[in-house]
């Protein structure tokens, strides 16, 4: 490309788009440093550190009450969770300075442990406006393209077509809600996803389908954090790194073999090894 062409591009505002596109194509990077989170004055997370890059799948495992969901909610900006110190950066940008919708626009996605039901908005309307809120004005997804994509992803997740016309999560069973969270993941194509207990309440067939959805996203442009307290899910979505959370922080990290050992031996050996009596947050005193 010569200089004249470059100038033309710049004048057309095309260059900005081109550079913008390249930035989006580069591997995403979520960095959590020394995060400290309180709820109603009670400290839940302390000195929490984690880095997730595109192409990586991390799993956080841990018994109940160790702060896993608190981590997910704090990163997504739930107002109840007060960040008392530390930082969260996405591709170098300060996530904690962003509004909740800006976090989604920046490429973060959270599948909730308990998704809320929203009456009056159909699943399909919700997905379409969520997709469009991530795009520039005037560059909205066409109805045809949207429907084609929705059909494809619902097919992959073996979801009945009727779910697109139902109100968001209203009357969905636990398993249907989880499947619907993965539908959102596939439709929104975030750069970094945090999936909180996406496996709870799923039978083995649903577990396989949900895993297929997540595995379908795998690639250099996608990083994922799977939060679970069962090893079972990790048979289907094999993580690159496994972290164990106790007392509101990561106490042990390793590869897939760590998940296998937890499956075989439970969590007690870690508690013994580290001299932890009670793994829950705020119980150590």
Ligand X SMILES: Nc1ncnc2c1ncn2[C@@H]1O[C@H](COP(=O)(O)OP(=O)(O)O)[C@@H](O)[C@H]1O
Give the binding site for ligand X (CB under 6 A): 39-40, 44, 62, 64-70, 80, 281
> Which is nearer to ligand X, 127 or 251 (by Cβ)?
251
What are φ and ψ of residue 157, in 5° steps?
A: -90, 10
Q: What minimum distance in Å lies between the beta carbon of 169 and Mg ion? A: 18
CA quadruple 43, 44, 50, 52: dihedral, nearest 10:
-130
- Quote the tokens at residue 198: 């996406």
What are φ and ψ of residue 108, in 5° steps?
A: -95, 145
> Which is nearer to Mg ion, 131 or 262 (by Cβ)?
262
What are φ and ψ of residue 39, in 5° steps?
A: -125, 125
Which partner from the list ligand X, Mg ion, none does 169 bind, CB cut-off 5 to 8 Å by kind?
none
Q: What minimum distance in Å lies between the beta carbon of 217 and Mg ion? A: 22
Residues 55-114 that bind Mg ion (CB under 5 A): 68-69, 113
Cα gap 21→272, rounded to integer Å: 50
- Quote the tokens at residue 272: 């013994």
Residue nearest to Mg ion (CB): 69
Does residue 184 belong to the site contacting Mg ion (CB under 5 A)?
no
Which partner from the list Mg ion, ligand X, none does 281 bind, CB cut-off 5 to 8 Å by kind?
ligand X
Polymer length of the chain: 285
Q: What minimum distance in Å lies between the beta carbon of 109 and ligand X? A: 18
Cα gap 88→93, rounded to integer Å: 8
> Which is nearer to ligand X, 63 or 175 (by Cβ)?
63
Q: What minimum distance in Å lies between the beta carbon of 272 and ligand X? A: 20
Cα gap 7→95, rounded to integer Å: 34
The residues, any chain, with a CB within 8 Å of residue 271's CB and separated by 6 or more, are: 246, 277, 279
> Which is nearer to ligand X, 44 or 131 (by Cβ)?
44
Mask of contacts with Mg ion, 106-145, x by CB under 5 A?
A: -------x--------------------------------
- Quote the tokens at residue 222: 């996608």
Cα gap 133→278, rounded to integer Å: 44
- Quote the tokens at residue 225: 């954090």
Q: What minimum distance in Å lies between the beta carbon of 199 and Mg ion? A: 12
Q: What minimum distance in Å lies between the beta carbon of 5 and ligand X? A: 54
Which residues here bind Mg ion, judged by CB under 5 A? 68-69, 113
């Amino acid at each position: 490309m010569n200089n004249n062409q470059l100038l033309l591009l710049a004048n057309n505002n095309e260059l900005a788009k081109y550079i913008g596109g390249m930035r989006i194509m580069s591997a995403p990077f979520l960095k959590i440093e020394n995060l400290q989170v309180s709820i109603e004055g009670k400290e839940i997370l302390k000195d929490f550190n984690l880095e997730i890059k595109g192409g990586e799948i991390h799993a956080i495992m841990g018994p109940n009450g160790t702060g896993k969901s608190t981590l997910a909610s704090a990163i997504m900006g739930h107002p109840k969770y007060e960040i008392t110190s530390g930082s969260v950066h996405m591709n170098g940008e300060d996530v904690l300075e962003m509004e909740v919708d800006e976090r989604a626009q920046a490429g973060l996605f959270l599948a909730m442990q308990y998704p809320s039901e929203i009456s009056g908005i159909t699943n399909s309307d919700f997905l379409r406006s969520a997709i469009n809120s991530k795009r520039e004005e005037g560059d909205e997804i066409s109805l045809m393209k949207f429907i084609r994509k929705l059909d494809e992803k619902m097919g992959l997740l073996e979801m009945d077509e009727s779910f697109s016309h139902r109100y968001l999560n209203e009357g969905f069973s636990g398993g249907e809600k989880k499947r619907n969270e993965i539908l959102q993941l596939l439709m929104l194509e975030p750069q970094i996803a945090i999936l909180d207990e996406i496996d709870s309440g799923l039978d083995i067939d649903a577990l396989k389908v949900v895993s297929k959805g997540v595995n379908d996203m795998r690639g250099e442009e996608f990083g994922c954090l799977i939060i679970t307290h069962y090893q079972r899910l990790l048979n289907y979505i094999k993580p690159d790194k496994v972290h164990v959370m106790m007392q509101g922080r990561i106490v042990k990290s390793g590869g897939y073999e760590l998940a296998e050992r937890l499956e075989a031996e439970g969590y007690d050996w870690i508690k013994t090894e580290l001299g932890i009596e009670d793994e829950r947050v705020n119980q150590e005193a």
